[in-house]
Amino acid sequence: MLNPSQLFVRSLSGALIFQHPNPQRSMSNKLTVLTPGLVNALKRLAGIALALACWEAIRGLDLVDPRDLPSFAAIFRSAMVGLAGGELAAALLATLGSWAPGLLVAAVAGVAVGTALAMLPRLELATRPLIEFLRPIPSVALIPVALLVFGIGLQMQLFMIAFASIWPVLFSTKTGVEGIDPRFLETGRVLHLSRSARLFRIVLPNALPLIATGLRTASAIALVVAITVEMLTGGAGVGFYIENVRVNGLITEMWAAIFATGVLGYLINALFMTIERVALPWSPENHDS
């Protein structure tokens, strides 16, 4: 048992510790105010600031002719003027008008073919040489063929976009279906579910996270191909807009259209990621983010 003097010393030391907390612990408590989301946002802003600094440094050191590399402020102003004036906005909308249906065709066909290949091994074995032959062909190399078959128009653009963007969806779907736990399928058989019921109630729901990832990847590919086809064929859209202002020597407007295209791609990717987080909360990617 402690004597009164020892009790007094212990109580006094406890009071001093309470009044004078550990500075290191106090600092760590302050740092915990920075949530992971805020830290990630600060990192993104730092990356953007570094990129802009490098851009201006290249201009300032005359590594590139300043006439060919306008300041970011001038590019941003030109983009805002183009969007407000309607010409650049109309070009972006025209590109989205071919991007969206082309991606839809690729999504439907990719999910259907990928599911069939995963569930029918004999079909996968029979079609493997054809798929491995078609997959490495650059989509741009098929533009002359598409022009001969479809002519210049929306059908040709849809074919090119669908051909280029179907592969991520197809292989992601195939991988997702093949990775389903066999016990789930066996449970469906025990419950006497029909083949179509097992497909829509077991197979596709379990493969959705990988299908969503493939679709997000395909959306970026589809946008690139849509713009490329517009540049090469003169179809309406931001690709033709970029090529037109370049030919006319409007370099700042060209960079402004490129900047607007990059922002559009970023927003599309952010939209798909948001949909994944809301619709697929069980996805492993959402757990890691």
Alpha-carbon gap, residue 277 to 289, rounded angstroms? 10
**Token output for 91:** 């070009």
pLDDT at 256 over 90: yes
What's the pTM? 0.79
Alpha helices, DSSP H, located in the chain? 4-19, 23-31, 36-60, 72-85, 87-119, 121-134, 143-150, 154-178, 182-190, 195-198, 204-233, 238-247, 251-279, 284-288
Output the DSSP codes for 190-233.
HTT--HHHHIIIIIHHHHHHHHHHHHHHHHHHHHHHHHHHHHHH
pLDDT at 3 over 80: no
Interacting residues of 33 by C-beta distance below 8 A, sequence separation 6+: none
Alpha-carbon gap, residue 227 to 181, rounded angstroms? 40
Closest CA to 115 of 169, 164, 189, 181: 169
Confidence class for position 269, pLDDT limits 50, 70, 90: very high
Alpha-carbon gap, residue 177 to 199, rounded angstroms? 10
The whole-number average pLDDT for the span 124-153 is: 89
Alpha-carbon gap, residue 207 to 171, rounded angstroms? 11
Mean pLDDT in the chain?
83
Alpha-carbon gap, residue 6 to 100, rounded angstroms? 79
Alpha-carbon gap, residue 254 to 89, rounded angstroms? 14
Q: Is 249 exposed, middle or buried (0-12, 13-18, 19+ CB in 10 A)?
A: exposed
Q: What are the pLDDT digits (tens) for 86-121?
A: 889 999 999 999 999 999 999 999 999 999 999 898
Q: What are the pLDDT digits (tens) for 240-255?
A: 999 999 999 889 999 9
Q: What are the pLDDT digits (tens) for 192-227?
A: 788 888 888 888 888 899 999 999 999 999 999 999
pLDDT at 12 over 80: no
Q: What's the gap between Cα 133 and its chain centre?
A: 27
Top mean-pLDDT range of 140-154, 234-248, 254-268: 254-268
Alpha-carbon gap, residue 274 to 222, rounded angstroms? 19
Give the 3-state secondary structure of residue 88: helix
Confidence class for position 122, pLDDT limits 50, 70, 90: very high
Q: What's the gap between Cα 289 and its chain centre?
A: 14
What domains does the chain contain, in order, with CATH numbers? Answer: 72-288 (1.10.3720.10)
* Residue of 224 and 184 predicted with greater confidence: 224
